[in-house]
Amino acid sequence: MVDRSMEPGFLLLEDGTLFRGRIRAGSAPRAAEVVFTTNMTGYQEVFTDPSYDGQIVVLTAPQIGNYGINQEDPESARPQIAGVVVRELSASHSNWRATGSLDAWLGEAQVPILTGVDTRRLTRHLRSDGVMRGVVMPGTDASDTARAALAACPAMEGLDLASRVSTRQPYTWGDPGAPRHVVAYDYGIKRNILRLFDSHGCRVTVVPATTPAEAVLERRPDGVFLSNGPGDPAAVAYAPRAVRAIARAGVPIFGICLGHQLIGLTFGGQTAKMPFGHHGGNHPVRELATGIVSITSQNHGFAVEGTADGIPGAPGLAVTHLNLNDGTVEGVRHRELPIFAVQYHPEAAPGPHDARPLFDVFLASMGATGRAGGSGRGALPEASEPSS
Amino acid sequence: MPRRTDLHRILLLGSGPIVIGQGAEFDYSGTQAAKALREEGFEVVLVNSNPATIMTDPEFAYRTYIEPVTPEFVELVIAREHPDALLPTMGGQTALNVALELADRGVLARHGVELIGANARAIRVAEDRALFSDAMRRIGLAVPVGGIAASYDEAEALLDRVGFPAIIRPSFTLGGTGGGVAYNRTEYEDVVRRGLDMSPTHQVLVEQSVLGWKEYELEVMRDHDDNVVIVCSIENIDPMGVHTGDSITVAPAMTLTDREYQRMRDAALAVIREIGVDAGGCNIQFAINPRDGTMLVIEMNPRVSRSSALASKATGYPIARIGAKLAVGYRLDEIANDITRTTPASFEPVLDYVVVKVPRFAFEKFAGADPRLTTQMKSVGESMAIGRTFKEAFQKGLRALESGRIGWVIGATPADDRLADDTVEALRGALRQPTPERVFQIKRAIMAGISLADLNEITAVDPWFLAEMQQLVDAEVWYAGLPAVEAHDGGTIRTMKQMGFSDRQLGDLRGEPEAVLRTRRWAADVRPAYKMVDTCAGEFPSATPYLYGSYDEESEAPRTGRRSVVILGSGPNRIGQGVEFDYCCVRAALALREQGFETIMINSNPETVSTDFDISDKLYFEPLTLEDVLEVIDREKPEGVIVQLGGQTPLKLTHGLAAAGIRILGTPPDAIDTAEDRRRFAMIADRLELHQPESGTATGPDEAAEIATRVGYPALLRPSYVLGGRAMQVVYDEPSLREYFARAVRASEERPVLIDRFLEDAFEADVDAIADGHQVVIGGVMQHIEDAGIHSGDSACVLPPYLIGERDLAIMRAQTVALAKALGVVGLINVQFAVKGGVVYVLEVNPRASRTIPFVSKAIGVPLAAVAARVMVGETLAEIGFTEEVVPPYVAVKEAVFPFSKFREFDPILGPEMRSTGEVMGISDSFGSAFAKAQLAADNGLPMEGAIFITVNDSDKSTVVPIARRFHEMDFRLFATEGTARYLRGRGIPAERVFKVHDGRPHAIDLIVNRDVQLLINTPLGKHAHRDDYSLRQAAIAHRVPYTTTLSAASAACDAILALRSRRPAVRSLQEWQALARGGADRPAAARPAAPFRPTPPDEQMAAVSP
């Protein structure tokens, strides 16, 4: 009954709260910011999403690992999270696409997974006291090792993690003969964004986070994309300069998540750390112009400050989308330039596909060559499935 | 768009009686809808024939019509009430079909009534298999290969494409009625012909079988502005081929990757848009090929359903309530999430727990019925359980089923698990065919070492679920083998409790009593934590204490310090314990809440109103076992517990609760015991000088035979402590008595068998009364239409009585009062009486709510269960203001509804064992007219003209004469078998002779098959029942010819036909009827209704039912 490969382990939060569970024997201590996600499916996508770099992720869904892991679903080359906390790690898996177990896959990547935790208690704690740092490691009680690891762990504010996860070298994705060319800044880009550009007839050049605007413009892109990514947007100081130059050149820009926050900062807005962020696949977002509500996939701990009336300090930006749960800014559009961005993830993976038509909107902003713009609805699943 | 202002009055249709496939879930949804519309200021006009529902209580609607849910009666209501709109999506298939029919007949257009929630086109496309397949093709989604057939020839032509096995589904029937799977041509012809018969449009869909594919459901909501959300995903453990109502199901889906889930979600959005449900919810079923992920759309229901009720309970997202608001114009983001109260309804719930639903069956009541689970639903109820893991929820769900299993445990014998013997071969064979016991066979298979791969191959149950089950078996083996010191360790106990093992299971594994285990567990402080169902996995604070227990760390149950009362619900619906007990619990919760108590409901039934989170102050969704209830009570420390309203389920816990020092509110536990204990009760009866049929108590066949000889045959046998007449039987001689002991019961010292002299041909009556410890007030006296010997739950009854003499009624009332006082009843009491030979006998006393409480409450206009709850917390009847019996100046008839069409192999006769699943009510100013309404509501269409076929046993021949004469006088043609025909002709009644089945042709069955007769009167009761009769009744059911198996019912039918022919039907609301009852309440309490309620001279009536 007792799995010998596991031993008692714990999560210690910086406020001293302790959560006991079981952990893979011999796991090294890992300290990082602890966040929870309410996605019920898509753990492999979550774990490989570079936006989760430097975070220990708590899954509120109680049983994780049920369908194993596969080769098609990762959003990057490897697990990006610092650690995982679950109520129960599934002892078996079943799915026709499965190629292995979650446990073995995380073990290979040396990502600790703490199981047997009252994750609801933990989630409620983070919800009421805000996200904080924590350490997962073997043992039963807070130790000096644990406290030392916590002390050594930097706070998320002021951290530029984008340059850490970004590609070192430019690379291309998609059909070289595709009609449009998008240059994508990689602050931690998810593969499904690339898959969707591909399926929308775009060839993508992915460039490092720190690439200067000139280098991008030299590539003569039809549009520039600012990706999602981890860390504090305010710390990505080099980005606004580049964005501003590209905007000035009149190139259409589309930002997602961190990319959205960077557009906010570029045009004079402020970002702030949220108490516990948005991490999940069920956030209702209203498009102000139409009233349409989309169920969106979200993963962010910082937000652009603003209201329906606008972004303080950024008169050039109009707020286009709001979160219906807490009223936070979910989308902006430049009043004159072909620039727009959303805080949520139209590429989903994991999460609902409601916002996918935004890719068509971006395409339309590059100049129509037959593809319909607008946030049309009822697009068929099969038609928009990425060819991975 | 906000609430529409152009609508004022909205017609809401209920689903009518509870039948298999259409159960209490529609009371839940209808009640929610009515409440949601009322709080928006609409005038709700409700039509529902089912009196046992909460929704039909007068305060839930502006006008409540307890009338048949048929196009004819609904049209009468429309003509009288002039509603602006009709909401057809809350009353199951019944309401949808009636709405469509009214639209097709032009009734809605003529009266300017708009269909809201789902339009006629959407209903038609969703329901018509051909239109549906076309629609799916248009949006690029695959459906199973197949086609529509309107005749057997057409169906045969489809076989080339479909092949065997083939799935056959009749159009427009509910719960897959009449459908099935065919593996060869013979079966194919049978199922197709049956399906054509049962479909109101005489169409069947024949489809490629996807047996063994994984089955999923999504619950979807859409508003006028095309915003769509998925409320819940449900995964069936039993794969395709077993009706989802009969499957063990899990929420959320456990084995889908996000990519697969989102593909299904995208498809669901496309489906609801294409079908065009423009403001409301729907349920969509999918099949997934486990080998390659191919996805098919199986069906879509554009209305709330059993699954939407389950999804609402599983997520905390009230689908029916939101659906009603969408129907009147709101957008999803304009409606609040009632659980968090801070976020809108335009979101998708996330679960941080696992929900398991387990169906409950009633095959033990239908000996000979085919127990194989197919595409036609056969279960009668369900339990739901919530845990933090599948393992925990699965075990809780199984023990919540109250089927005698304390979790996932195998039966004591192979036969208990529907196995011929305990060999692996028998097991492998049985596993291939789904039955209610398959889940236990799987456990035997794992224990026997059959590999999970093999099990998956044989059962097609997903390997993940099998592996979870394997872990439970492994845990048992581990725990059973531990040294005592380790087994007693708190950590070990917690590990086992986290996997959902009950104390009794753990005790059994190590040969220890449950109580010892519990004491040890408590000493180690291993207690459940109560967590909230909050729709958002803890992301937002929740304002609504909807709780479940789990062996986790943090309990969230709020402590308010208010005076609180725990109400124990009635658990899964079953035959004998249905929605009527839930009704009582809900009334109690509402009444005590109003009196300032904190009300705490414990129940495990997802279909019910009682498990709606806004009925009580706190809802614990937990199994109703002693262990689970004790834990909640320990946490809540209420002033007391109400056990007398939820039927046998809470009553059985009384001892254990009282022993634990918990205060039982109302009638003391000892009084409950006295009523159940034959010997103790006999002493009271003697003291009060009551007559009881001669009786005795036996623990074995010899003793029983001795007693039967003493009391005389026929004798009525039954086990003690049962509800619904489980295993109750009339025996006419010793051999059948001995057979009863061999087959039907395991008698023991603790569970003896009761033997009564059976009062053949007696009148029966039920009296419901209420007592506060000082005063006893009669709620109502109901006369049964059927004779003694038919279970009271299966008998039609009438209030006020119309054939029992004033003297006898007075005796019954006086004896009820005396019994209530002698027993010390505080709350409800039900007494059953029989009248034979001028003597009033007491048959049974139950100091608890009876299943007639909702019917009586409606008939007299007094909410008896609410009054009872208040009495139980100390108010007096005088304080409440209910001090006098109300005898209504109109007639209310209750009729039972049976599931015989689902169990075709079973002989559909009535007896002492209850078999009905639901009931309907007819109210009118005459008996005949009220009875006629009840028959129409029960779908027993009575003929206005034509021919009647009479075949009765010898002892009934004289009794049938006046009935036959009346039919003859109404110009009905009479057919009879030889003996009956000769007898009737001898008394001047022309009757044409028909051959018995074996005597020549055309015979009786030919007449029925050819629909040459419109009513069958066939009495089999008595020792000379014939096999012929059985096939006759089977034929009547198959060909939908109304039939009656008792002469009293035949006589009532005669009254009803007369009433139907003499005037046009009229409708009147319950509020109007009850105003009449209040007006008439100042008459003397014992006043009998005046003569007009007796359509025929009493003497002739008496003669008709009593020889």
Of all helices (H) and strands (E), which one includes residue A255? strand A253-256
Which structural domains are found in chain A, ordered by start? 6-152 (3.50.30.20), 162-384 (3.40.50.880)
- Nearest-angstrom CA–CA distance, B750 and B671: 18
Of all helices (H) and strands (E), which one includes residue B195? helix B185-198
- Nearest-angstrom CA–CA distance, B395 and B632: 18
List the structure tokens of B576.
């004998």
Question: What percentage of chain A has pLDDT greater than the value 90?
Answer: 92
* Chain A residue whose CA is closest to B273: A378
- Nearest-angstrom CA–CA distance, A286 and A295: 9
Of A93, A123, A352, which is closest to B538 when you measure between CB atoms?
A123
What pLDDT sits at residue B1001? Answer: 82
**DSSP state, A27?**
P
> Could A291 and B225 be called an inter-chain contact, meaning their C-beta atoms sit closer than 8 Å?
yes
- Nearest-angstrom CA–CA distance, B245 and B177: 12
Of A60, A281, A325, which is closest to B343 when you measure between CB atoms?
A325
User: Which pTM does this prediction carry?
Assistant: 0.93
Alpha helices in B524-612 (DSSP H): 579-594
β-strand pairing of B166-170 with B180-182: antiparallel
User: Quick count: other Cβ atoms within 10 Å of Cβ B202?
Assistant: 15
Mutation site, A3, A43, A120, interface B, largest B CB count within 10 A: A120
Query: Is B720's Cβ below 8 Å from some Cβ in A?
Result: no
What pLDDT sits at residue B340? Answer: 87
What pLDDT sits at residue A96? Answer: 96
* Chain A residue whose CA is closest to B229: A295
- Nearest-angstrom CA–CA distance, B10 and B4: 12
Edge-to-edge strand order for the sheet containing B85-87?
A: B63-65, B43-47, B9-13, B85-87, B114-115
**DSSP state, B531?**
E
Distance from CA of A91 to the nearest CA of B (A): 8
Cβ atoms of B188 and B159 within 8 Å: the answer is: yes
Please indicate whether residue A93 is annotated as part of the active site. Answer: no
> Could B261 and A293 be called an inter-chain contact, meaning their C-beta atoms sit closer than 8 Å?
no
What pLDDT sits at residue B1084? Answer: 39
Cβ atoms of B1036 and B949 within 8 Å: the answer is: no
- Give me the mean pLDDT over the A268-293 stretch: 96
* Chain B residue whose CA is closest to A192: B259
pLDDT digits (tens, 9 = 90+) for A116-167: 999 999 999 999 999 999 999 999 999 999 999 999 999 888 999 999 999 9
Q: Which residue has the tokens 């439970």?
A: B472
What pLDDT sits at residue B375? Answer: 86
**DSSP state, A225?**
E
Question: Would you say residue A381 has pLDDT above 90?
Answer: no
Cβ atoms of A307 and A317 within 8 Å: the answer is: no
- Give me the mean pLDDT over the A206-234 stretch: 97
Query: Is B276's Cβ below 8 Å from some Cβ in A?
Result: no
- Nearest-angstrom CA–CA distance, A370 and B645: 68
List the structure tokens of A229.
């990514």
Question: Would you say residue A332 has pLDDT above 50?
Answer: yes
SS (H, E, C) chain A: CCCCCEEEEEEEECCCCEEEEEEECCCCCEEEEEEEECCCCCHHHHHHCHHHCCEEEEECCCEECCCCECCCCCCCCCCCCCEEECCEECCCCCCCCCCECHHHHHHHCCCCEEECCCHHHHHHHHHHHCCEEEEEEECCCCCHHHHHHHHHCCCCCCCCCHHHHCCCCCEEECCCCCCEEEEEEECCCCHHHHHHHHHCCEEEEEEECCCCHHHHHHCCCCEEEECCCCCCHHHCCHHHHHHHHHHHCCCCEEEECHHHHHHHHHCCCCEEEEEEEEEEEEEEEEECCCCCEEEEEEEEEEEECCECCEECCECCEEEEEEECCCCCEEEEEECCCCEEEECCCCCCCCCCCCCCHHHHHHHHHCCCCCCCCCCCCCCCHHHHCCCC
Please indicate whether residue A157 is annotated as part of the active site. Answer: no
Range in A229-233, A377-381, B289-293 the model is least confident about? A377-381
Distance from CA of B310 to the nearest CA of A (A): 19
Q: How far is CA A191 from the centre of its chain?
A: 11
Q: What is the DSSP string of B632-666?
A: HHHHH--SEEE-SSSTHHHHTTHHHHHHTTPPBPS
Query: Is A97's Cβ below 8 Å from some Cβ in B?
Result: yes
Please indicate whether residue A202 is annotated as part of the active site. Answer: no
Q: Which residue has the tokens 């003529």?
A: B110
List the structure tokens of B7.
């609508």
Q: Residue B51: is it exposed, middle or buried by C-beta count within 10 angstroms (0-12/13-18/19+)?
A: buried
- Nearest-angstrom CA–CA distance, B734 and B702: 10
Which structural domains are found in chain B, ordered by start? 9-116 (3.40.50.20), 143-356 (3.30.470.20), 364-372+391-523 (1.10.1030.10), 529-666 (3.40.50.20), 667-689+759-940+1068-1092 (3.30.470.20), 694-752 (3.30.1490.20)
- Nearest-angstrom CA–CA distance, B65 and B575: 26
Instruction: Please work out, in degrees rounded to the nearest 5, the angle formed at the alpha carbon of residue B607 by the alpha carbons of B604 and B608.
Output: 80
Range in A90-99, A269-278, B1047-1056 the model is least confident about? B1047-1056
**Can you tell me whether residue B173 is helix, strand or coil?**
coil
Cβ atoms of B253 and B216 within 8 Å: the answer is: yes
Of B257, B354, B478, which is closest to A95 when you measure between CB atoms?
B257
Q: What is the DSSP string of B721-779?
A: S-STTTT-EEESSHHHHHHHHHHT----SSSPEEEEE--TT-EEEEEEEEEESS-EEEE
- Chains A, B: CB contacts under 8 A, how many? 185
First to last CA, chain A: 40
Q: Which residues pair with B251 in a beta bridge?
A: B355
CB-CB neighbors (< 8 A) of A36 in chain B: 538-539
User: Quick count: other Cβ atoms within 10 Å of Cβ B414?
Assistant: 18
Cβ atoms of B722 and B747 within 8 Å: the answer is: no
Blockwise average pLDDT, block size 10, chain B, 1107 residues: 91 96 94 97 98 97 98 97 98 95 97 95 89 94 90 90 88 74 90 86 86 95 96 96 95 97 98 94 96 95 95 97 97 92 93 98 86 91 98 98 95 94 94 96 97 96 98 97 96 97 98 96 98 96 94 94 96 94 98 97 98 96 98 97 96 95 96 86 92 88 91 87 72 87 69 85 92 97 88 92 92 97 97 93 94 97 98 97 96 93 78 90 95 93 91 86 94 92 93 85 85 87 57 79 86 92 92 88 39 34 31
- Nearest-angstrom CA–CA distance, B214 and A348: 25
**DSSP state, B332?**
G
Angle at which helix B957-969 crosses helix B1047-1062, to 10 degrees, equals: 10
Mutation site, B464, B494, B542, B554, interface A, largest A CB count within 10 A: B464
Contacts of B584 by beta carbon, 8 Å cutoff, 6+ apart? B645, B646, B849, B853, B854, B865, B868
Mutation site, B259, B390, B492, B542, interface A, largest A CB count within 10 A: B259
- Nearest CA to A285 among A229, A326, A227? A326
- Give me the mean pLDDT over the A170-199 stretch: 97
What pLDDT sits at residue A383? Answer: 33
- Nearest-angstrom CA–CA distance, B182 and A100: 39
* Chain B residue whose CA is closest to A377: B226
Query: Is B315's Cβ below 8 Å from some Cβ in A?
Result: no
Look at the alpha carbons of B457, B458, B462, B463 in this order and tell me if their dihedral is positive or negative: negative
User: Quick count: other Cβ atoms within 10 Å of Cβ A335?
Assistant: 13
List A200, A278, A300, A345, catalytic entry? A345
ipTM at complex level: 0.94
Higher pLDDT, B56 or A4: B56
List the structure tokens of B498.
């986290």
What residue type is assigned to position B366 of the chain?
F
What pLDDT sits at residue B134? Answer: 93
Distances (CA, A) of B796 to B778, B918, B1046: 20, 12, 11
Question: Would you say residue A377 has pLDDT above 70?
Answer: no
β-strand pairing of A18-24 with A55-59: unpaired
Query: Is B1075's Cβ below 8 Å from some Cβ in A?
Result: no
Mutation site, A35, A89, A92, interface B, largest B CB count within 10 A: A92
- Give me the mean pLDDT over the A94-120 stretch: 97
Range in A81-95, A365-379, B99-113, B351-365 the model is least confident about? A365-379
List the structure tokens of B884.
């006098």
User: Quick count: other Cβ atoms within 10 Å of Cβ A63?
Assistant: 22
List the structure tokens of A64.
């994780």
* Chain A residue whose CA is closest to B478: A1
List the structure tokens of B192.
């197709």
Distances (CA, A) of A272 to A235, A243, B136, B539: 12, 20, 47, 19
pLDDT digits (tens, 9 = 90+) for A48-70: 999 999 899 999 999 999 999 99
